[in-house]
Every structure is written in C-alpha cells, then in structure tokens.
Structure 1
Amino acid sequence: MQSSAFTALRARRQRGMARVGLIIVVVAAVLIAWGLYSRHRAAGKLEEATDAQIAQPVQVVKPQAAGGDLDLLLPGNVQALAEAPIYARTDGYLKRWRVDIGTQVKAGQELAEIDAPELDQQLRAAQADLASVEANEKIAQVTADRWRDLRESDSVSKQEADEKIAAAAASSASLNASRAEVQRLKELTGYKKIVAPFDGVITARSTDLGRLIGAGSGGGELFRIADMRSLRLYVNVPQQYAAVMKAGLNAEVRFPDRPTTPVTASVARTSGALDAGSRTLLAELKVDNADGLLLPGAYAEVRFKIPAQAGGTALLLPSNTLLFNGSGLRVATVGSDQKVVMKSVRLGRDLGTQIEVTDGVTADDQVVIAPSDSMTDGIQVRVVQPDAKADAKPDAARPAEAKS
C-alpha cells in the first residue's frame, strides 16, 4: 500500500513539473514572439520615418474649371484725339503771344503774332514791280494791236508784226508772274498771325516776346495743341487674344489718379497685324472725355472680359506649376502612392498669375506647385500644407501679384 501511494505521489509531481515546464516554454515563446514583433514594428517605423525624411516635401493644387468670362488686364497709353505742334510759316520776331498753357482755343483763333519787317518790304517791292509790269504790258498790248492793223494793210512785214505780238505775250506772262509773286508774299504776310488749326487746349508754349522765329520745323515749336474731347487708348494685346479683339468689345479702364472711378471704353479698331518683335496686336480704344477730367499721356490699366473657350473643357493652373525642359512643357502630379507622375500639357491663354490648360490634366489631379528642374517620374514625395504663419500675414506684407 505504501509503495503504490508513493508511486502515485511521484507521478503527480512529475506531471506538475511537466506542466510548469510547458508553461515556462509557452511564456518564453510568447516573450520571444513579442520581442520579434516589437523589433519588426520599430524597424518599420524607422523605415517610414527615414522615407518621410528622404521624400521631397511638395505643395499641390488641383486644377480649377475655367468657367465664365476671364479677366485680361493690360497696360495702356492715352493720347489725345488730335494733337499737333504749331510752327511758324515765316521768319521774324515774336511780337506778341495771346494764349498760354491750359487755354481753351477755337479753330482760327489767334495764338501769336510775328513782326516780319523784311517780309513787309518784300511785299511792297513786289507790288511796285507789279505796277511797272502792268504798265509795260499795256504798252506792249497797244503796240501789238497797232502792228496787227498795219500788217493787214501790208504796211509792215510779217516778221516785224510777229515780234511785236510775241513781245506783248511775254509782257502778259511777266504780269502773271508778278501777280503770283505779290499773292505769295501776301499769303506769307498772313502767316504773321499764328492761328489754331482746330478746337483744343494749348498744352505747351515754347516761345516768348522778342524771340527770333524761323519758318518751318527748323525754327522750333511755338505751341502744342491737343483736342481732348475724346481720347485714344492704345493697348498691345498678346497674340493669343488677337482673335477676340473686335470693334465694339468693351473694357474697363482705371487711371492711377482716379483709382475708384473706372471708365468704360470700347475697341474702335486694331492694326490688323502683329508686331514682329513683341508678337502683339495694337488695339485702339475710344474714351469719352467730354468733362475734360482725363489727361493725354496718362498710363491706364485696361481690363477686358474675355469669353471662355467653347465647351468649357479648359482648366486653370497657377503659372508656377509649369516645367519646361527637353521633354517639352509638362506638370508634375502626385499619385495615390505619393510618387511623381509627369504629364505633358497643352496651353490655352496666359492670364498672368494663372494659365489655361486645354489638355493633359484632369480636375482630380494633384499638381505640384513650383516643381524643381530635377523632378522626374517615380520620385517619392510627401504632400505638405502651406505654412499657416505665412498665410496669416496681412495683405500689405505680401508681394503684389504680377499683371498681364
């Protein structure tokens, strides 16, 4: 009995030790597995962190639909409807001037008077010569008539009669020449009074009393007159918008000295040809200036409303998303795997800070802003958000946007 009891006790002890050993083995296996898992997870996190540090940070933007009319902002130069320099037509000294800058004048109104004593003397001498030629012409005509009568009665030879008749004709021609010379000098004398060629405003006076005046442009400009009731506004339009610049197209015009008061102008005509140097079309707009508040020579900002392309398929991207290299014009997009996919694009109109893309991207693409020249397909990137602090800067601290 005692022997069988001892055997049973020892068997129980062996089973308990086996169970403890099994537990120890299981615990050890769990600890080893947990250690391996923790090490693998740490290695994975380290790899992710390393990849995140190596991946190039980029900011992205999605293309926007170019629906509705687009704004085209261009610089313009203002000129008067008519502007002309005033020169003298005769030599002399300025006797008096009657208008100054800013004076409103009418066509034919006297602006100044020139004292030309030499011209007056030439006119008197020509008139005296005319009187002498008239007297000689009368004598020659009377003599010719008498010799015609004598020739009819064969009292003189035909040769002598022809000579007297020819002398009378020569005297008549001399009379006409003398009369033309007197008329020429009278007209020059009339130019001693300088008058306005059209209604306008005197914008410059470049002479004064006693100044020696020379005839023509070599004598210097005396006055400058401008008709400012209507103004011409000239704009150089880029080639891609030349097709829409038709007569009657309206534009909003703003002037630096009147920034809150826009003026409406309309296209009157275009040059009909592109400038070979700038590839631009010269367009002329008419601006009403009946109140006289606008000034010729001013700079203006002209804003056109350009109709969107038919079909509305064009998309808008910031201009700094474009990348031009040996493969052509492309943009860099970011795929779902955070890798770069380069796409070739076709451009429409250049809107200054934005560009119109007609083919190559979709509205769902994430397009990289300001891609580096070395960016190629397959590069790992990470998308980051714009710096909130930079976005929080006041508008006054931001650089002004470039205008077309």
Structure 2
Amino acid sequence: MIRDTSAQDQIVSTSTPGSAASTWRRYRWPALAALLVLAGIAFAVHGWLNASRSFDSSRVRIAQVERGDLVRDIAADGRVIAANSPVLYAISAGTVTLKVVAGDVVKKGQELALIDSPELRSKLAQEEATLAGLEAESSRAALDATLTRAKSRKDTDQAGIEKVAAERDLQRYQRGFDGGAVPQIDLARAQDALKKADINLVNAQADTRLQGQGADLDARNKRLLADRQRAVVAEVKRQVDALTLRAPFDGQVGQVQAVQHTNLVANAPVLGVVDLSNFEIEIKVPESFARDLAIGMPAQLTSGSGQPFAGEISAVSPEVVNGEVTARVRFADKQPAGLRQSQRMSVRVLLDTRKDVLKVERGPFVEQGTGNAYVMDGNTAVRRPVQLGVSSLGEVEILSGVQPGDRIVVAGSDLFKDAERVSIN
C-alpha cells in the first residue's frame, strides 16, 4: 500500500477580512507616526507654556561660564601729541609782522613775530615822563628834609649857646650879690634869663625832632609815589617787549593763525610752537575704566613697526565727554626717534590680574546693571540673580549665581523686557 502526503498536512485557520489582527497589521505604522507627532506637539506646548516669550537664537549671543585667570587691562589706540605746544597771543592790538612760517625749526629766544602798537609805545613814553617828574619830586623832598634838619639843628645849637651864656651871667651876678656889689633884683633877673634859655633849648630840641620826622614823611611819600610809577613803567616795558614774540624753547613752528601785515585785536592768537623733544600719547578710555586709572600707572606703547616701549600714565582728565575720558601716556624711558605729531600708536594699560575666578564673555548685560542675568536651561533662558565682580575689556568676573559650564545670554537680553522665562529657538 502506497502512503500519500495526507499525514503531513496541517489545518491552518484563515482569518476573514475585517478581523482585529488584520486591522492591527494595517494601521500599526500610521499609529506609531501619529504618536511621535503628538509627542513633538506636547514637547513644544510644554516649552511654550514654560516661556512667556520666544526669540530666535540669531538675535542673542550666548557665552559659557568658565574658570580661569581674569586679566584686567585697557587697550586703546592713541595718537602722538606734543606735551608742550603753547600758542602765542598778541598782548595788544597792532599790526603783525611774521618772521617765520609753519614748519620752521626755531631756537629758544628767536624772534617769531613783531606786533607794532603805537598806542602801547606812546603809553610807555608818557609813563616814563611821569616817572621822571616823580623822581625829581622825590629828590627835592629828600633835599628839603635835609635842609629842615640842618635849620633845626642850627636853632637847637643857638638855644644851647644862649643857655650857656645865661648860666655864666647868673654865676657873675651871684658872686657880685655875695660880695654886696649887685642888688638882689639883678640876681633875680639873671635867674629868670637862665630859665628862659633852658625853656628855649628844650623847645628847640623838640622842634628839631618833629620837623625831622615831618620832612622824612614827606620824602618817603614822594619816594613811594616814584616807586609806584617805576613799577607801572616796568609793566608797560614788559608789554612793549612782549610785542616781539619769541620762541619759548627749541622746537618747530606749528599752525600760524595770523595773516602777514594784518591788524590784530588784543589777545588774538598768532602762532603755535611745538616742542619736538617731548611727546605724549593721548588715548580715549571708557568711562567705566576711568576710575581705575591713576597717574604713574605703567603702560606699554606699541608703534606701527610692532616695537614695544615702556610708558606711564601722566594725566587723566576729570571730564567725561561722550562716555569717554581723555588720558595721556608719556614714555618712561627715552622716547623713540622719528615720532611725528598725530602719529598712531597702540597703548595697553595693565590694571591687575585675578587668579582662578569664574568669568564669562563681557556683553551689554554688564552695563544694564540690573543684578540679574538670563541663564540657559536647555532652550529656555531663565532670569536669575547674578552678582558680578570686576571686568576687563573682554571678560567679566562672576561672584555668585552660576556654576562653571552654565551658559549666559550676554547680548540681546534687553529684548526680553525682564521676562522670567524666555524660549530661544
């Protein structure tokens, strides 16, 4: 008997269309896709609910907090200026005659310009004539004082002689009276004559003293008037001498502000002189760093060739203009050769170095000064109190509020309008 394959066959149940298994196999992948979409929507809704506003990341700048050394320095571009560059002025109105032109090298005391002022020269002549008259009066007063003292001494001497004569007459009458040859009345008359001579001597001595004092006072007053006029003449002479403008030092003529053979008013600028042996560097420093600058603070100057030179702060302006303070830096050692007016130089002033501190890139959030910063939590910027320390041009120290690795919105946070949470897309 031949066996067939019927023993190997198994009965398989087939599901009919529309059953549960057939439905699952058909919709399982679309269902999974729908679940992913719902999860994304839920995540977006959760982020939107947690942030009151949303901004694009291109509108802000985010920096990471790190630990390291913070070097506080000031870097600025400066220009070379002459430390000594006075402008000479016309001391009086007159016609100017220039002896030099701009750019001429001059020596100390060299004539630069001459101002012709007839009014000032005439005033000098008048004051000198007045001085001559007062000096003559002073001499005459001194002579009168001498004559007065001589006459007073003459009167005193005459009174002294009369007193001596009266004393001798009294002695003679006294001897005659004692011998009985002279009556008592003559003796009494001689005694009265001595008293009169004594009184005349005392008065003559007092007159001599008083007349001498009066004569001395008159002579002194005349002498003081002459001295006062002598001072006036010296001042006018100084003004006349100042009509000739001379170089105050060895240097170079700068800008000439007067025109040849023109009439200038008093105190009008004529020309400037530049001292080529003493240059300084003028820099502009932000107002926030100005309080840290001090005269004598070391600096490094770099020329266009890259060669560094040692320098130090020589002056800091007390005035703030357009948020900046003007400072001057002088060369600590011998200044380099070949410097020119208005030449550009780079200046770096080292303030101090803070070791191992929390720091972050400096941005506008430092100047806002609210005491808060936006720290990133995923894609959400959370407003958090942050205490800042000192700052340099590129970095700022953080004292508290964040940890190393945190990210802070350093620029663009002014768009958030002090919102507590902001979404960054």
TM bucket, shorter chain: 0.5 to 0.7
Match of 1:293 in 2: 339
- 339 and 149 in structure 1: CA distance in 2 versus 1, 3 angstrom threshold: closer
How far residue 119 of structure 1 moved from its aligned partner, in angstroms, is: 3.6
Within 2, Cα distance between the matches of 1:27 and 1:355? 70
How far residue 231 of structure 1 moved from its aligned partner, in angstroms, is: 1.0
- 93 and 32 in structure 1: CA distance in 2 versus 1, 3 angstrom threshold: same
> Is the 2:416–2:422 contact (alpha carbons within 8 Å) kept by the matching residues of 1?
no
- 102 and 275 in structure 1: CA distance in 2 versus 1, 3 angstrom threshold: closer
Aligned-residue RMSD, C-alpha: 4.7
Within 2, Cα distance between the matches of 1:137 and 1:324? 77
- 323 and 284 in structure 1: CA distance in 2 versus 1, 3 angstrom threshold: closer
Within 2, Cα distance between the matches of 1:144 and 1:376? 98
TM-score by length of 1: 0.66
CA displacement, residues 336-360 of structure 1 (integer Å, 9 cap, x when unaligned): xx66655433333455565544433
2:138 paired with 1:147:
no
- 319 and 165 in structure 1: CA distance in 2 versus 1, 3 angstrom threshold: closer
CA displacement, residues 358-381 of structure 1 (integer Å, 9 cap, x when unaligned): 433333335568566289778776
How far residue 304 of structure 1 moved from its aligned partner, in angstroms, is: 3.8
Within 2, Cα distance between the matches of 1:309 and 1:241? 19
Match of 1:211 in 2: 262
Match of 2:110 in 1: 109
Structure 1 letter corresponding to 2:376: T
> Is the 1:317–1:356 contact (alpha carbons within 8 Å) kept by the matching residues of 2?
no
Structure 1 letter corresponding to 2:89: Y
CA displacement, residues 160-184 of structure 1 (integer Å, 9 cap, x when unaligned): 9566665544544444345444434
Moved over 6 A (4+): 52-57, 273-282, 320-326, 374-382
- 289 and 211 in structure 1: CA distance in 2 versus 1, 3 angstrom threshold: farther
Aligned partner (choices 402, 411, 419) of residue 361 of structure 1:
402
How far residue 206 of structure 1 moved from its aligned partner, in angstroms, is: 1.8
Greater helix content: 2
Within 1, Cα distance between the matches of 2:260 and 2:372? 67
CA displacement, residues 244-276 of structure 1 (integer Å, 9 cap, x when unaligned): 76734323456xxx5x656545333565x9868
Structure 1 letter corresponding to 2:37: L
Match of 2:15 in 1: 24
- 169 and 301 in structure 1: CA distance in 2 versus 1, 3 angstrom threshold: closer
Structure 1 letter corresponding to 2:244: K
> Is the 1:269–1:285 contact (alpha carbons within 8 Å) kept by the matching residues of 2?
yes
Match of 1:194 in 2: 245
> Is the 2:313–2:329 contact (alpha carbons within 8 Å) kept by the matching residues of 1?
yes
Match of 2:272 in 1: 224
Within 1, Cα distance between the matches of 2:126 and 2:294? 62
SS of 1:153's equivalent in the other structure is: helix
Name structure 1 gaps, 5 residues minimum: 1-8, 383-404
CA displacement, residues 83-111 of structure 1 (integer Å, 9 cap, x when unaligned): 322113344322x2222222333332221
- 91 and 146 in structure 1: CA distance in 2 versus 1, 3 angstrom threshold: same
Structure 1 letter corresponding to 2:312: V
Equivalent runs, 1:331-346 vs 2, <5 Å? 331-335=374-378, 342-346=383-387
Moved more, 185-194 or 117-126: 117-126
Within 1, Cα distance between the matches of 2:144 and 2:424? 115
Within 1, Cα distance between the matches of 2:244 and 2:236? 14
> Is the 2:376–2:382 contact (alpha carbons within 8 Å) kept by the matching residues of 1?
yes
Count of equivalent residues:
353
2:365 paired with 1:316:
no
Match of 1:388 in 2: none
> Is the 1:76–1:235 contact (alpha carbons within 8 Å) kept by the matching residues of 2?
yes
Structure 2 letter corresponding to 1:82: N
CA displacement, residues 54-73 of structure 1 (integer Å, 9 cap, x when unaligned): 76774765434444636643
Match of 2:121 in 1: 120
Name structure 2 gaps, 5 residues minimum: 1-5, 48-53, 160-203
